[in-house]
Amino acid sequence: MAGHVALIGLADINSQRRMVHGRRLHCHDDDVIIPGYLDGYEPPFLRSPLVDGSGLMSHALFWPAFLSTVGGSASAPDAFNVDPADLEQIVDAFLGPCRWPVFSLPLLGHRRLHVIMRNFEDDGGVDYVLNPGSGDASIPLAAMEGHFRGPAFAWPEVVAAAHQPDKNHAPAERLLLLIPACADTNRPHEAVDLVAEALTALGARSHVRQVSEELLNSRRYWTQCQWADIDDVLVGLGSHVYRRHGGELSLEQLRLIADTLQPSGTTEHQ
């Protein structure tokens, strides 16, 4: 599983229902339907491995685990005053080969952003995809793995999407779920402060600026990316970006993504 990088090496990935601090770690049993996402797997899945990860998101150890693994921040456990060894069991739940946690955010227009722990044998990774809400196939935004694709978002899109209506997640939670797939050469200096404020809101007590910088400047996959308006749609200029002009996504899909993330259509990228 080349794609898991920092997730590899933690013991016993089959133990998904261990007890941590008296609480049972598990995903909700509800299956998650993401049109088209599981197409192409051989052999085909007899039952979808996608499960609702909101139960994990509500756990006290979720953010130090998510930010240190998916986000690549080595300082995240210290920031939340957590021993890294205490995260092993929740990361085990992230990595269940038969149950792939999906962390989802509602977006405007009945669309949803999904972060999927893709625990397929020998092809593991973390996928960011957009469900367009129309019944059409989901649209890939980023794949965090050995053969990575991304980034998925420009900085203004992350800020705008974080503040979209959501009865279950605060803007701080939405921001931190999106940050690992964001890279932007035009990111403002105050971005570090904004991410640090989100970390503090979710319980971090020290090293918040250090964690913020690690999240924003991670080079595990892509470097900072330029974004530009081409044909009146925001696209990434990196060679590994799904959202590039003339790539596999249609112009209609590129517009749908941009309009969903930043409905005002305003952007600092000219």
Overall average pLDDT of the 95-120 stretch: 95
Residue 6 clears pLDDT 70, i.e. is over it: no
Q: Within a domain: residue 269?
A: no
Domain-located, residue 215: yes
* Residues 49, 70: Cα–Cα separation, whole Å: 19
51, two tokens:
């499960």
- In the predicted model, is pLDDT for residue 12 greater than 90? no
DSSP 44: P
Residue-averaged pLDDT of the chain: 88
pLDDT at 15 over 60: no
Reported as a pLDDT band with limits 50, 70 and 90, residue 269 is low
Question: CA-CA-CA-CA torsion for 148, 27, 170, 126, nearest 10 degrees?
Answer: 0
Whether residue 44 is contained in a domain is answered as yes
Give the residue among 3, 240, 1 at the shortest CA–CA distance from 145: 3
Q: Could you report the per-residue pLDDT of 109-168, keeping only the tens digit for each?
A: 999 999 999 999 888 999 999 999 999 999 999 999 888 999 999 999 999 999 999 999
Question: What tens digit of pLDDT does each residue of 59-76 get?
Answer: 999 999 999 999 999 999
In a domain, 268, yes or no: no
Cα–Cα distance for residue pair 29/195, rounded to 1 Å: 32
Question: Is the residue at 147 inside a domain?
Answer: yes
Is it the case that residue 265 has pLDDT exceeding 80?
Answer: no
pLDDT at 18 over 70: no
Question: Is residue 214 a part of any domain in this protein?
Answer: yes
Q: Which of 36, 191, 47, 167 is nearest to 114 (CA)?
A: 36
Number of independent structural domains in the chain: 1
> What residues make up the domain containing 101?
2-261
* Percentage of the residues of the chain whose pLDDT score is greater than 70: 86
Q: Is residue 10 one of the residues assigned to a domain?
A: yes
Strand partners, 111: 107
207-237 pLDDT, tens digit each: 999 999 999 998 888 889 999 999 999 999 9
What's residue 24's pLDDT?
46
Percent with pLDDT over 90 in the chain = 76
- Token duo for residue 218: 């991670």
Is residue 98 domain-resident? yes
